Structure 1
Amino acid sequence: MSTLIHLPEGSVCWPAAALSGAARDVMHAQTSVHRARAGERRAGTTRWERSYADACAWLEWDWVELAKGTVVQADPLGVRCNVLLLDERQRPLLSSRRRAMLATLVYLLPWQGPVLDRLRGAAPLRRVERDAQRLAA
């Protein structure tokens, strides 16, 4: 039995122990709103990224607007990403633990603000403007 793990091209490995610190480095990349049919709640997808010199780690998930000004994840365990989480021995986490850890990361991110801005029709900040604001802080 092979112990090699085959990752999709562009995947990034993160130590699970450093996940709470990753919340400071992951930035909002884009939010899309799906067309809602009459009587349906507005919903969409948001994507957050962390760029490296040679790769980009990304996470995305679906959200739903419950009421005006209130958005929640459609499925808290349904985070899609190109991140492989590693335990203290540099082994991949079990799928169930990985999903729970990614849900915790999303909980730590201030993702509702950019989603609500998009729903209100505010133009999202371009990446260059966000980086300038981050450096100024």
Structure 2
Amino acid sequence: MSTLIRLPEGSVCWPVAALSSAAQDVRHAQTSVNRARTGGQTVRGLTRWERRYADVSAWVEWDWVEVAEGTVAQADPLNVRSNVLLLDDHGRPLLSSRRRATLATLVYLLPWQGPVLDKLRLTAPRRHALQPQERLAA
């Protein structure tokens, strides 16, 4: 007995075998930055990469965190969100655990840190050099 899979509108199917070639065509779409408003200096954000087709866009996105100045990492490497349904060699959807690992591999293949660091540089708060106040002796 076969079961039909209902995909959300706008979903895209990719065979896992085409993953490496798909990684070459996926392009940076957007990056958002969320700077902490509290005393902490944590900078976080989200980045999205897309592969456009004539009528739909396949996308993957994930959260990142700045671990040190000039260094960003995925906040959770197995939490990659996407509208892509990955298919095995027989055209069947991958199990959830294999899908997460495969999407994590796709992210690893992408040069995503560069665009994220560029966005961080563009949105960095301007730092004014504080000049010590001069005291004049009376």
TM-score, normalised on structure 2?
Answer: 0.85
Superposed CA deviations along residues 44-101 of structure 1, whole A, max 9, x for unmatched, are 0000000001110000000000000100000000000000000000000000000000
Query: What is the CA-CA distance between 1:35 and the residue it aligns to?
Result: 2.9
Give the aligned residue type for 2:72. Answer: V
Q: Give ranges in structure 2 of 5+ residues lacking alignment.
A: 124-138
2:63–2:74 Cα contact (<8 Å) kept: yes
Aligned equivalent of 2:23 = 23
Q: Distance in 1 between matches of 2:2 and 2:17?
A: 26
Cross-structure match for 1:128: none
Asked if structure 1 preserves the Cα contact closer than 8 Å seen for 2:26 and 2:50, the reply is yes
| TM-score relative to the length of structure 1 | 0.86
Q: Structure 1: any 5+ residue segments left out of the alignment?
A: 123-137
Determine if contact 2:16/2:88 at 8 Å carries over to the other structure. yes
| Greater share of residues in helix | 1
Return the index of the structure with the highest Cα Rg. Answer: 2
**What is the identity, as a one-letter code, of the residue corresponding to 1:116?**
L
SS in 1 for 2:122: coil
Q: Give percent identity, aligned residues only.
A: 77
Match of 2:35 in 1: 35
What value does the CA root-mean-square deviation take over the aligned residues? Answer: 1.2
**Residue matched to 1:127:** none
Q: Secondary structure at the match of 2:58?
A: strand
For these two proteins, the number of residue pairs brought into alignment is: 122
After superposing on structure 2, the runs of 4+ consecutive aligned residues of structure 1 that deviate more than 4 Å are none
After TM superposition, the structure 1 = structure 2 runs for residues 1-137 of structure 1, keeping only pairs within 5 Å, are: 3-37=3-37, 38-121=39-122
Matched letter for residue 64 of structure 1: V
State whether residues 51 and 59 of structure 2, in contact with CA within 8 Å, keep that contact through their aligned partners in structure 1: yes
C-alpha distance in structure 1 between counterparts of 2:19 and 2:78, whole Å: 16
Deviation at 1:2, TM superposition (A): 5.9
Distance in structure 2 (CA, Å) of the matches to 1:2 and 1:119: 48
